[in-house]
């Protein structure tokens, strides 16, 4: 992760046409951090944005067969045997929806709203919390 962070610091900003979105990180213990109006490079995905927002403090494993990282830690809070990180997208008409793809497949766009939540799961491995 630190290598990716160093590369980002060398390359930023690649474009002057920045976009903005917002990301909520809910640590599942009452601590919630909003990153509003985050400036993004066009073409970023949620995984890259999360690494940048957390200044590289993200624990993840790359799964090439899925083309995505499985995130198991954000900002020093890691998954446990009973809690896992989940991704959510926000839609004005439907509210919060659990993402159906990994963070690498979620393209950031101007005005997007995302959330990461660390929460327990039910017997069907569905999260028992929402942002």
Q: How do residues 53-106 score in pLDDT, each as one tens digit?
A: 999 999 999 999 999 999 999 999 999 999 999 999 999 999 999 999 999 999
What is the rounded CA–CA span in Å between residue 1 and residue 92? Answer: 33
Stated pTM of the model: 0.86
**CATH (domain of 45):** 2.170.130.30
**Model confidence pLDDT, tens digit, residues 11-39:** 555 556 888 999 999 999 999 999 999 88
Structure tokens that stand for 86 in this block? 């989940």
What is the rounded CA–CA span in Å between residue 70 and residue 60? Answer: 5
For residue 47, is it within any domain?
Answer: yes
Structure tokens that stand for 115 in this block? 């959330």
For residue 60, is it within any domain?
Answer: yes
For residue 76, is it within any domain?
Answer: yes
For residue 129, is it within any domain?
Answer: no
The H-or-E segment that residue 120 falls in is strand 113-120
- Give residue 76's domain range: 2-120
What is the rounded CA–CA span in Å between residue 39 and residue 46? Answer: 12
């Amino acid at each position: 992760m630190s290598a990716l962070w160093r590369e980002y610091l060398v390359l930023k900003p690649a474009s002057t046409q920045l976009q903005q979105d917002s990301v909520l990180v809910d640590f599942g213990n009452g601590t919630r951090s909003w990153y509003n109006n985050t400036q993004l490079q066009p073409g970023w995905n949620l995984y890259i944005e999360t690494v940048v927002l957390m200044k590289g403090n993200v624990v993840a494993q790359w799964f090439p067969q899925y083309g995505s990282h499985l995130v198991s830690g954000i900002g020093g809070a890691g998954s446990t045997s009973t809690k896992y990180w989940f991704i959510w997208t926000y839609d004005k008409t439907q509210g919060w929806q659990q993402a159906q793809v990994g963070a690498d497949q979620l393209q950031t766009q101007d005005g997007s709203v995302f959330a990461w939540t660390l929460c327990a799961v039910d017997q069907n491995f569905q999260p028992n919390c929402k942002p």
